[in-house]
Amino acid sequence: MSRHSKFLLFLIPICVLISSCSSATKDTNTAEAGFQAGEEYEKDELYEEALQKFTEVKNKFPYSRFAVEAELRIADVHFKRETWIDAQNAYQLFKDLHPKHPRIAYVTHRLGMSYFNQLPSSVDRDLTVADKAIVAFDDVLKSYDKSEFVEEAKAKRAEARKMQAEKVLYIAQFYYIRDIYDSALLRYEKLLKEFTSEGYAPKALLGAGISAFEIGERGKGEQYLQQLVKNYSGTSESQKGEDALRKYGAH
């Protein structure tokens, strides 16, 4: 290998090193330079460094046009690294401070998604965040109904509602199988009243009807079971409803 070739091989790693350090050594004493440095870090998935730069821009240059954008990018970085509570707080703060921002529909949807992504994997856990996700998605559907986020907001809202319905059904059945029929009836009726479109009406009507009979509310029990038989003919619940009506002498 010639002396010239050896020199080139020595020089290349140095050039690479200088290039990789450029964003770290770049002067960021202006809002624009600091913001661009944050963008570079975010692109390279160096999220801690990106947050540091965007926070510096926000704090050091609060009246710059980059300050507001830095606030939004802070929320986005939290979302990208899946720290959902931090993302939720950052999007909510942005929404409160800048309600007329051109990207407020995006912010509102991301707020809903930050809550949605905190939902547990099973309905026997706390579902408080489902309420908050639904509020945000409702805001998207009502206030920004022409935005590109409507379809996803509808789908995620439906998923959150389904989880809520399953939680109510889970509690109702918990009481039902333990013969605590008064508490079971309350939950089945809640399911019928608040979750009419989630697809649990047959189960709720069957459980409510039998629970009502068991605690001596025959009129209510007969009403629920007859509604089940009439409106959901052909389902397994309808057949069980007919059997229950015969059992309780109401058919």
Q: pLDDT class for 226, splitting at 50, 70, 90? A: very high
- Tell me the pLDDT tens digit for each residue of 134-145: 999 999 999 999
**Tokens 């002067």 belong to residue:** 27
* pLDDT exceeds cutoff 60 at 224: yes
Inform me whether the pLDDT recorded for 213 exceeds 60: yes
Specify the pLDDT at position 26: 52
Query: For the chain, what percent of residues have pLDDT higher than 70?
Result: 88
pLDDT in tens, 7-63: 444 444 544 444 444 444 455 689 999 999 999 999 999 999 999 999 999 999 999
Which is higher by pLDDT, 25 or 160?
Answer: 160
d(CA 111, CA 127): 16
The alpha helices in 147-235, defined as continuous H runs, are 150-176, 181-194, 201-214, 218-231
Q: What tokens appear for 161 in the block?
A: 């509602």
Please say whether the beta carbons of 171 and 189 come within 8 A: no
CB of 246 closer than 8 Å to CB of 222: no
Which tokens hold the place of 42?
Answer: 């975010």
Q: Is the pLDDT of residue 69 over 50?
A: yes
Cα 63–Cα 67–Cα 18 angle in degrees, nearest 5: 120
Average pLDDT over residues 53-77: 97
Q: How far is CA 28 from CA 56, 115, 207, in A?
A: 9, 34, 66
Asked if 111 and 155 count as a contact pair (C-beta separation under 8 A), the reply is no
Question: What pLDDT, on the 0 to 100 scale, is given for residue 27?
Answer: 56
Closest CA to 212 of 169, 171, 241: 241
What's the confidence (pLDDT) of residue 250?
Answer: 78
Structure-token pair, residue 70: 């830095």
- Give the span between the Cα atoms of 110 and 117, in whole angstroms: 10
The answer to whether 52 and 77 have CB atoms below 8 angstroms apart is no
Helix (H) or strand (E) holding 18, with range, is helix 3-20
Q: Rounded distance, CA 64 to CA 60, Å? A: 9
- Architecture, CATH, for domain 82-162: Alpha Horseshoe (1.25)
The confidence band for 206, taking pLDDT boundaries of 50, 70 and 90, is very high
Domain 179-251 fold:
1.25.40
Give the mean pLDDT of 233-251. 93
Whether the pLDDT of residue 68 is over 70: the answer is yes
**Average pLDDT over every residue of 76-92:** 98
